[in-house]
Amino acid sequence: MQDNYRNIYKRARETSGMTQERFAEALGLSVESVRLYETGRGLPSDDVVVDMIAISGLQVLGYQHLLNKSRVAAEILPEVAECSLPQAVIQLICRIRDFGDRHRTDDLMNIAADGRIDDHERALFDEIVAELDSVVQAAMQLKYAQGGQL
């Protein structure tokens, strides 16, 4: 995961169309700080990243920064692959459709009816949660799709 996001700060600067010097000035930082972030030798603070997002308009930067910064986030948040808006919409709709076609909502209702997950229900429940993770991943890809950012 780290390799995919190694140059996210450089990408934010390039998206903004600024030189390192101008980007540093806009952020109220030294050029050396910007260089450290772009080479992966340092991580900017969350406040700096919020400013980078505001300057570049690159909303996915916050998500990618969180994955870089937090081992917990890297473990629990889905990887978000960059794709076009139409591709992201199609992927999300297909995953939702497939979830419904497999009657997973019915399965979840049956599992939850007694308020607990029995041993014989655990495997099905884990399978359903994995499918929901796939839906969440597709939803996040839609949120950050190329051409879909506000």
Lowest mean pLDDT among 27-31, 67-71, 122-126: 67-71
pLDDT, tens only, 36-77 = 999 989 999 999 999 999 999 998 899 999 988 899 998 999
pLDDT, tens only, 82-105 = 888 999 999 999 999 999 999 999
Residue 114 pLDDT > 90: yes
**Distance, CA of 145 to CA of 150 (rounded, Å):** 10
CA distances from 7 to 2, 40, 105, 117, 133 (A): 10, 7, 40, 43, 26
- And the tokens for 6? 């190694």
Residue 6 pLDDT > 60: no
Provide the H-helix boundaries in the chain.
2-5, 8-16, 20-27, 31-39, 46-56, 60-69, 71-76, 85-101, 104-112, 119-143
Residue 3 pLDDT > 50: no
* Residues 6+ away with beta carbon under 8 Å from 43: 37, 65, 68, 69
**Distance, CA of 118 to CA of 5 (rounded, Å):** 40
**Distance, CA of 64 to CA of 6 (rounded, Å):** 9
Q: Tell me what pLDDT residue 137 has.
A: 94
Q: Tell me what pLDDT residue 79 has.
A: 86
pTM of this structure: 0.75
Q: Tell me what pLDDT residue 150 has.
A: 40
- And the tokens for 12? 């934010």
Q: Return the higher-pLDDT residue of 10 and 7.
A: 10
